Amino acid sequence: MALDQDTLNQFLDVVKRYVAERLVPLEEQVAEQDFIPEDVIEEMKEMGLFGLSIPQEFGGLGLSMSEEVAIIQEMGYTSPVFRSVFGTNVGIGSQGIIMDGTAEQKEKYLPLMASGELIGSFALTEPEAGSDAGAVITSAVHDGDSYVINGTKRFITNAPRAGVFTVMARTGTREEGSRGVSAFLVDADLVGISLGKPDKKMGQKGAHTCDVIFDNVRVPKDALIGGVEGKGFKTAMKVLDRGRLHISALSVGIAKRLIDESLSYATQRKQFGQHISSFQLIQGMLATSQTDYYAGKCMVEQTASAYDAAGSNSMNAAACKLFCTEMVGRVADSAVQIHGGSGYVSEYCVERFYRDVRLFRLYEGTSQIQQLVIAKQMIKAHQD
Ligand code: COS
């Protein structure tokens, strides 16, 4: 544990209050304007949220995985776009450096990421390489003391705010597959980098994604993560293992919010002369959602605790992501159902959350990719 129990409890309390008093009242405005006010971002920086997982020696809070999932569950109680602003710094935008970066790379980037001064973005997906992440065609060609990067990355979260991209690019041949992929730290202000137009998304308004285009972008040799070619795919997979647990915790937090919204509505709304919460068919939906939520929470906390004790377990991280993201989809669907016609209009937040949570079954690996990861590990373990 990075924090003693009292300090962790206090921090959890601060985040919980901040979510309830500051962020929840802003949700509608952010969704409508597709924009998070700068002062909120500044407040989140001051709270240390950008550096949750970054080691203390680099200015972060250095939280353990168990501590991180506890905080992220609290953050899940509000619109997920607030978490998204700092989420890449905590996860996919910084972890490549933390896990595999050189001492110089850590020194250069992590303190700025921990404070939130620098936003890190993760650039893996391409127009033709989504689930098949080992098939990236963005190239990085060695040229003297530099590499020259060319290619297009797609759906890149926080790209418009990013100061540095972790870019997975091919240094080897296509035939080498994932073994020919390397990871680079590419500063966003380099000549040759441009952004596509903002993606028009189904939900998560306020969180921004777009294409990032690299046109003959020259980066120094020491931009290669860890200084070794051909390790980029493995770096990406390790980063995603951790990210999948983080997204699972977020899903659990949102499920809790949706259940509370459903309970509030069901205990106030009257039909047939009674509160609808007195009807067993409504109770059935509430009870199933609560059971789903509790199962997800137990899974996430158990997997995070095992992560702290023994390191990453890809199969269990994928199982958490598969279960928790599907679970929050079911809970959101029931929340809309419990709200009846009101659940379909934007006056009630369940309609927005229903759209927001749809993303979780897609990014950081679709549910089907999680199934593949789980089955592959099962079969391997059986054969070993
Ligand atoms: N940790 C460390 N190494 C890993 C790993 C992990 N979690 N997963 C795979 N590897 C290693 C393998 O051990 C293998 O190493 P060797 O080449 O030394 O044998 C190498 O990486 C290739 O692994 P594998 O053969 O399993 O790769 P596949 O091409 O079959 O792809 C999937 C595996 C499909 C699981 C991967 O491409 C994936 O996760 N895709 C989804 C990508 C994704 O989540 N995209 C979201 C965008 S980011 S928001």
Dump pLDDT digits (tens) for 107-133. Answer: 999 999 999 999 999 999 999 999 999
Alpha helix locations (H) across the chain?
A: 5-18, 27-33, 38-46, 65-75, 80-90, 95-100, 103-115, 232-268, 280-310, 314-339, 349-356, 367-383
User: How much is the mean pLDDT over the chain?
Assistant: 97
Query: Are 79 and 23 spatial neighbours (Cβ–Cβ below 8 Å)?
Result: yes
Tokens (6 digits) for 256: 């809790």
**Ligand 1 atom, smallest distance to 130 CA:** 45
Nearest one of 381, 285, 364, 380 to 324, comparing CA atoms: 364
- Examine the pLDDT at 3 and tell me if it is beyond 90: no
pLDDT of residue 24: 98
Q: Which domains does the chain have, with CATH numbers?
A: 5-115 (1.10.540.10), 120-230 (2.40.110.10), 234-383 (1.20.140.10)
pTM: 0.97
- Examine the pLDDT at 1 and tell me if it is beyond 90: no
pLDDT of residue 93: 96
**Ligand 1 centroid from CA 240, angstroms:** 9
What's the CA gap between 159 and 162, in Å, rounded? Answer: 5
**Ligand 1 centroid from CA 179, angstroms:** 10
Tokens (6 digits) for 215: 């046109």
**Ligand 1 centroid from CA 237, angstroms:** 5
pLDDT of residue 288: 98
* % of the chain residues with pLDDT over 70: 100
pLDDT of residue 161: 96
pLDDT tens-digit profile of 339-375? 999 999 999 999 999 999 999 999 999 999 999 999 9
If pLDDT is split at 50, 70 and 90, which confidence band does 2 have? confident
pLDDT of residue 118: 98
Ligand 1 in reach of 230 Cβ (< 6 A): no
pLDDT tens-digit profile of 66-113? 999 999 999 999 999 999 999 999 999 999 999 999 999 999 999 999
- Examine the pLDDT at 379 and tell me if it is beyond 80: yes
pLDDT of residue 29: 98
If pLDDT is split at 50, 70 and 90, which confidence band does 32 have? very high
Ligand 1 in reach of 134 Cβ (< 6 A): yes
